[in-house]
Amino acid sequence: MKLKKVLFLFLLICPYFIAAQIEEAQLDQLIQKTLKTFEVPGISVGIIKDGEVVYAKGHGVRALSNKKDMNKNTLVGVASNSKGFTCFALAMLVDQGKLNWDDKVTQHIPEFRLQDPWVTAHFTVRDLVTHRSGLGLGSGDLMFFPENGHFKVEDIIKNVKYLEPQSSFRSTFEYNNNMFIIAGEVLKRVSGLSWEDFIETKIMKPVGMTSSKASYNRVTDKSNIIEAHTLADGKLEQIPHDWSDTANAAGGIVSNVEDMLTWAQFLMNDAVTKNGERLLSEEQFHELWQLQTPLKVRKNDSYNSNFKGYGLGWFVTDVKGGYKQVYHTGGLLGTVTQFTMIPDLDLAIVVLTNQMNGSAFNTITNTIKDSYLGYDNRNWLERLGKSNTNWLKYNDSIKASVYAQVSKMKNSPILPKSSAITGTYTDDWFGNVIISESNNDLTITCENSKTLTGQLLPYNATTYVAKWNNRSYDADVFVQFSFNEKGEAVSATMSYIAPITDFSFDFQNLELEKTN
């Protein structure tokens, strides 16, 4: 009786008591409902608690085309969850005395240049991996996104000097993949190994990630791998895998739930493998999860967070009054993933999907997390389901309005002659965008990104709509022309039609000058 009273008093006074894990059957049911609510063909989920795997399952199918079951071994591109590996690898070089986080990038890549010479001279390896370059969200991503472009790592290093800063250096968090690509080149030049070889031999192999590869093209056995899916004009479609090897250091890793749980277990064991091998010093491992670039916490934050920001390859925040959470998400065309650790609770959650809808992984992660943090059922499925429906409707309404206007403008007398806008337009870093006419129809083609081709449709007297042939991109844009006194187009800019457009379609950063 006394023991029961002591336990009761402990539960009353201890703010850090954690509820029991979500029941397996309940989680199974939630995932099945999540698949349906967000039109996701397949999801795999894993949980580690107190050093043990307590859940590792796949649900749904790997691909609409083959209907094969998704399971815990199904390979998925983890996308930007690769960034944590890149920073871990750099930290290993710091341990070896070959690199310092505050080395100037030009020490290792002498040809590295940004627009501002002072920024170039002071830009460090740490700046490469903390999203504080001053460049805008996704700036320059069109050099590797979507796949089938001609840009290599050396092209990105050469071209970043043309990217226009959106804020002052180190003042603002703006997510940028190209800086991570350059960080991967630092790793290569300092270590003498390619980024892919370093990640696989120095990290994945000793950690025990036996099924993972550093890039899609290194996966030789594709018998248990997902296909990507997305909504194309409102209909769920299977689409080809899309990721350029140029950007592997920013998001190239392919893994599965089992291996990602092994990675989580290793990290929460202070970077010590199951065999007792320490891969990173305590000092450098501690550095990875320290706040480098702050982010605002919303006033009505769902987890009562006091701080939020980016460390070295990881987002860092606190949840429910003090538990440190280390996490990242990742997104490719047709795939999104989420990786979450709360080291104080020895808790890790992995969610891998084959459809690009972040509400699905948030529903699952938040529900699992809530069960361990002691929150009452907050019904994330219903909340995020409604939000997702409203978001899609909002974007659809914008697109419908734009194309209604396009229909009205067909054969309008106020339109410029086709000859006034056809020709070649050039951007310093992206290259040529060609507007041509055939059978009275206008076509737009991006020379260095061959899949970006489509119709050019009139919207008003100075603005057209680029309607891409690949409808899965969901990235149609306005093309705004500037004309000279003769009524001839001399330049053009682009902007999104709808906010659902992925930020890596950074058309708004193009400054197109007519050259022919």
Residue 20: what pLDDT? 55
pLDDT tens profile 363-392: 999 999 999 999 999 999 999 999 999 999
Residue 19 has pLDDT above 60, yes or no: no
The pLDDT score that the predictor gives to residue 312 is 98
Number of residues that make up the chain: 516
Instruction: Find where tokens 């010479």 sit.
Output: 117
Determine what percent of the chain is predicted with pLDDT higher than 70. Answer: 96
pLDDT above 90: percentage of residues in the chain: 93
Distance CA 203, CA 206 (A): 6
Chain-wide mean pLDDT for the chain?
94
Q: Is the pLDDT of residue 8 over 70?
A: no
Name the more confident of 410 and 37: 37
CB 92 within 8 A of CB 281: no
Question: CB of 273 within 8 A of CB of 208?
Answer: yes
The reported pTM is 0.94
pLDDT at site 149: 78
Closest CA to 142 of 465, 516, 431, 435: 431
Token look-up 């939000």 returns: 387
Rg (CA), the chain: 24
In the predicted structure, residue 7 carries a pLDDT above the cut 90: no
pLDDT digits (tens, 9 = 90+) for 155-213: 999 999 999 999 999 999 999 999 999 999 999 999 999 999 999 999 999 999 999 99
Cα distance between residue 150 and residue 449, in whole Å: 7
State residue 456's pLDDT score: 98
Alpha carbons 495 and 506: distance in angstroms, whole number = 9
How would you label 5-14 residue by residue, b for 16+ Cβ within 10 Å and e otherwise? eeeeeeeeee
Domains of the chain plus CATH, in order, are: 2-373 (3.40.710.10), 395-514 (2.40.128.50)
* The two structure tokens encoding residue 58: 């796949």
pLDDT-wise least confident of 138-152, 184-198, 267-281, 302-316: 138-152
